Structure 1
């Protein structure tokens, strides 16, 4: 089964380009203002003005009040059947991500170009797109790289081992529990209480958005968006 994340080799091959873009364009980290301040891989928030720090927290709180897990799952389910083209692209999720602010941030981090996302593995882009469309982006997060997305949840103390509806589930096909081994990501629909979970995922082995049943043995962990109750 093909991996559904960017490989370390792909990231390293683009590092020089990424460093150049970062130096030229992202000396300021204000572009992160729409996401909760984090620590860890991204080095934490560099928003030093208290007013700037409070704004994203206020927006995140508003989103938590408005968006439920059921709403997020309904939007994800509405996309079931959407398929990539023969080149591995052509989905609305890749097209949206390539044009997004987050693409510019991840290019600065990993290298590459916006066009590179148009045919790239898109499971994490699908999850990010659903968050965007529902207004839950501050809780769901957004990234094209599954490992970084999982580490964002971990850095915000929102990562664990309990399957919950609407949780973002991270898989490693070899059964590893290391975040660095993550291959794929989707949404939990429910815990089937028999060693499996029901999910909605983009970029499955069939190149589609599909509902799947997966063994928990392949789960690295779960990210928990702070939904409205």
Structure 2
């Protein structure tokens, strides 16, 4: 699809601050599937941000994008949209993590900046146990599997 227009990158990088109350019930979950609200919401958050930026994700799992991280990775690989590591990542790329090293993605977010030193800045929702909000991170190292460029 090519580089993301500047306005879309800015919209994706600055969603409103949001905090859930430890139950996974979020506006992102309601937007994604109002009948199944209590699922982990990192993928739902990423899908929501792209939709609100008027640049919806492809039908990775369904019309909204994806909620299950391994499906995002599988889609990216099967559609030749997958890039390992972070070297070429840029704003607007969807990044995937493997926290426990089992080769299966556990988490996802959106790259807001490539720092050029093997690390990226990201915005993520539901980024780990006890995480109940949308936060920014500086990430590097072996937990990053790669990214999807849309």
**TM-score range normalised by the length of the shorter chain:** 0.7 to 0.9
In the alignment, the residues of structure 2 paired with residue 69 and residue 150 of structure 1 have an alpha-carbon distance, to the nearest angstrom, of 24
In the alignment, the residues of structure 1 paired with residue 17 and residue 80 of structure 2 have an alpha-carbon distance, to the nearest angstrom, of 33
Q: Which of 128, 144, 150 is 1:219 aligned to?
A: 144
CA offsets 1:66-85 (integer angstroms, 9 cap, x no match): x8253343223332531112
The residue aligned with 1:77 is: 13
Q: Which of 96, 106, 110 is 1:170 aligned to?
A: 96
Asked if residue 96 in structure 1 is aligned to residue 31 in structure 2, the reply is yes
Q: TM-score, normalised by structure 2?
A: 0.81
Q: Which of 35, 42, 45 is 1:126 aligned to?
A: 45
CA offsets 1:134-163 (integer angstroms, 9 cap, x no match): 222245851110100111111110001232
Question: 1:187 aligns to what SS in structure 2?
Answer: strand
Structure with higher strand content = 2
Unaligned runs of 5+ in 1: 1-63, 100-113
Question: 1:163 aligns to what SS in structure 2?
Answer: coil
Q: TM-score, normalised by structure 1?
A: 0.55
Indicate if the aligned counterparts of 2:15 and 2:49 stay in contact, CA closer than 8 A. no
The 5 A counterparts of 1:31-180 are: 64=1, 68=4, 70-79=6-15, 81-89=17-25, 91-99=26-34, 114=35, 116=36, 118-139=37-58, 141=60, 142-161=65-84, 162-176=88-102, 178=103
The 5 A counterparts of 1:10-49 are: none
Structure with higher helix content = 1
Relative distance call for 1:69 and 1:188 in structure 2 (3 A) is farther
Q: Give the 4+ runs in structure 1 shifted more than 3 A.
A: 69-73, 138-141
- Coordinate RMSD, CA, aligned: 2.3
In the alignment, the residues of structure 1 paired with residue 45 and residue 31 of structure 2 have an alpha-carbon distance, to the nearest angstrom, of 10
Indicate if the aligned counterparts of 1:171 and 1:182 stay in contact, CA closer than 8 A. yes
